[in-house]
Amino acid sequence: MKVPLLQVNHITKQFPGVLALDDVSLDLHEGEVLCIAGENGAGKTTLIKILSGVHMLDGGEIILDGQKLHIKTPFSALELGFSVVYQEHKLINNLSVAENVFFGRFPMKAKAFVDYRKLNDDTKALLDRLGMDIKPTQLVSTLSSSQSQMVEIAKALSVGARIMILDEPSAAITDSELTRLFAIIKSLKAQGQSFIYISHRLNELSEIGDRVAVLKDGKLVGIKDIKDITIDRIVSMMVGRDLGKVFRPKDRPVGSEVLRVENLTNDTVRDCSFYIRAGEIVGFSGLIGSGRSELAESIFGYRRKKAGTIHINGQPVPIRSPRNAIDRKMGFVTEDRKTTGVILNKSVGENITFAILDKLTRFGFVDVRQEKQLIDKYIDQLKIKTPSDRQETQFLSGGNQQKVILAKWLLTQSSLLICDEPTKGIDVGTKQEFYNILDDLARQGIAIMLISSELPEVIGLSNRIYVMKEGTIIKELQQGEMTEETVAEYSMKEAGH
């Protein structure tokens, strides 16, 4: 057997409160595609960040070509031959394709002027190698997301990447674009290029991978040859138990219609119509950028509507700001906790009561005693792990911060709760708690709009699922039709099919 190109030996990484990587060892051969599978929070991202120099490892070693490496900064990682093509592209939109590919390494004339002819010719050569029909002078802002991805790959090739790391490359591209990406990976692989391939879509792995490494809770569960393993087996390795038990049966009593949206159109979505009844959890699936969050923002009055009407309990209501939405008993657990969810430097208690302060105020002064009772009640009820209600929210784990946000919207006595990726970046145990909490809330008659990119989660929790693509709802799936395959199929369907 050949000596591996890359050896990762016993690496560990500790974050406050979490052991993100625990004694993980991997190897990667020249011309190989190694897939990494695992749930969110399993340690995939941490692994990439260590290889790309964003995080330093706490223990273990990384050996490339028999040489022990010290990856200290993203720049040194790049020099050593690690290139990452991230899920959300990191190109500079207002520069041309060529300028992006050779950013920071422009060919120069007389040491002072950029040699644009050489820059564009070199870029053209790279693009040809990838079979890409775009001009080196085109602005990146005019590219589709699959084209930007190719530009990133071209950039990685131009740096001379030994190991190319693809992080969820299929998340934002169509099926036919994915086929082309696979063809490119295969041809580069034949030339000896090595890849680390990360994806949530397990059926892709068997198509492109040679081996798969499964991570769970920061530990390596195992590395297997793709041809020796089934997808079901990978799933049970990832989850560590049967998926079926994670979700409760959906025998929730369903009441009358709480929300009806008709022909809602804004800057991103158009003509979206749907309804949610009391006691229902209604899932919204689709690719990143399909408009799910933007739809939710318009319902909550956080993003301007261009057209459409919103009915609450059968009445059409004008909603122009979050204030209007809150007055209509809506709550919005946003996708990005840190920027739109909690006030990080305020205490847990202040965040919990933040949306109902007007009801806790006597003559302008906050009734601290009454407030404290409510805070304690919700810390207890949602099992928020915090040393005290006066702890600043930034010191809580992601899952507990998320519970603080949930508590805030439960205190307003929301009858409609919009949850945008509520379990993003939360560990498996807390996720389970969230699933039970959402189920409990629905059983109390709250209507829940659940946006989630994790297919098992949407399928396991929802009564119905709306699939969105390019700003419109393209399909409503009923209980019997909800499988990962159908959801994925509709989210990626080419227009016109």
Partner 1 sequence: MNVKETIARLLKPAEGQASFNRRKLLATFSPIIGLIALFILASSLSDSFLTTTNLTNVLRQVSVLGFASLGMTIVILTGNIDLSIIGNVSMSTTLVAVLLQQEWPVGPMIVVVMLAGSLVGLINGMILSYFQIESFVVTMGMQVVCFGMSLFIAGGRTVIVDNLAPFMLDLASVRVGMVPVMFLILLGFYLVFFIFTKKTRMGRYIYALGGNEEVCYISGVNVTLVRITAYVLSGMMAAVAGIFTFSRSLCGDPAAGQALGMYVVAAVVIGGTKMSGGRGSVLFSIIGILIIGIINNTLNLVGFQYYAQQIIQGVIIILAVVLSSKRRR
State the nearest-atom distance from the C-beta of 397 to partner 1, in Å: 11
State the nearest-atom distance from the C-beta of 187 to partner 1, in Å: 45
Of 16 and 314, which CB lies nearer to partner 1 in the complex structure?
Answer: 16
| 326 lies in the site for partner 1, by CB under 8 A | yes
Strands, E assignment, 241-290: 257-265, 272-277, 281-286
Which residue in the set 72, 105, 346, 443 belongs to the binding site for partner 1 (CB under 8 A)? 346
**What string of H, E and C letters represents the secondary structure of 12-34?**
EEEECCEEEEEEEEEEECCCCEE
User: Which residue matches tokens 């004694």?
Assistant: 23
Distance CA 202, CA 171 (A): 12
Share of the chain residues as helix, strand and coil, in percent rounded to the nearest 5: 40, 25, 35
Distance CA 296, CA 330 (A): 11
State the nearest-atom distance from the C-beta of 236 to partner 1, in Å: 36
Q: Which stretch binds partner 1 (CB under 8 A): 245-253, 260-268, 352-360, 483-491?
A: 352-360
Buried residues in 299-313 as b, exposed as e (16+ CB within 10 A): bbbbbebeebebebb
In this structure, what token pair is assigned to residue 219? 């530990």
State the nearest-atom distance from the C-beta of 319 to partner 1, in Å: 12
**Total residues in contact with partner 1, by rule CB under 8 A:** 35
Taking CA atoms, 373 is separated from 39, 311, 385, in Å, by: 37, 34, 17
Site map (CB under 8 A) of partner 1, residues 288-307, x = contact: ------------x-x-----
Distance CA 168, CA 488 (A): 14
Of 113 and 365, which CB lies nearer to partner 1 in the complex structure?
Answer: 365
Q: Which stretch binds partner 1 (CB under 8 A): 60-68, 79-87, 253-261, 349-357?
A: 349-357
State the nearest-atom distance from the C-beta of 402 to partner 1, in Å: 14
| 369 lies in the site for partner 1, by CB under 8 A | no
* Binding residues among 12-31 for partner 1 as defined by CB under 8 A: 16
Q: Compute how many other C-beta atoms are within 10 angstroms of the C-beta atom of residue 113.
A: 9
Q: Which stretch binds partner 1 (CB under 8 A): 6-14, 137-145, 167-175, 315-323?
A: 315-323
**Amino acid, res. 173:** I
| 340 lies in the site for partner 1, by CB under 8 A | yes
Binding site for partner 1 (CB under 8 A): 16, 300, 302, 321-323, 325-327, 332, 334, 339-346, 350, 354-355, 357-358, 360-361, 364-366, 387-388, 391-392, 395, 408
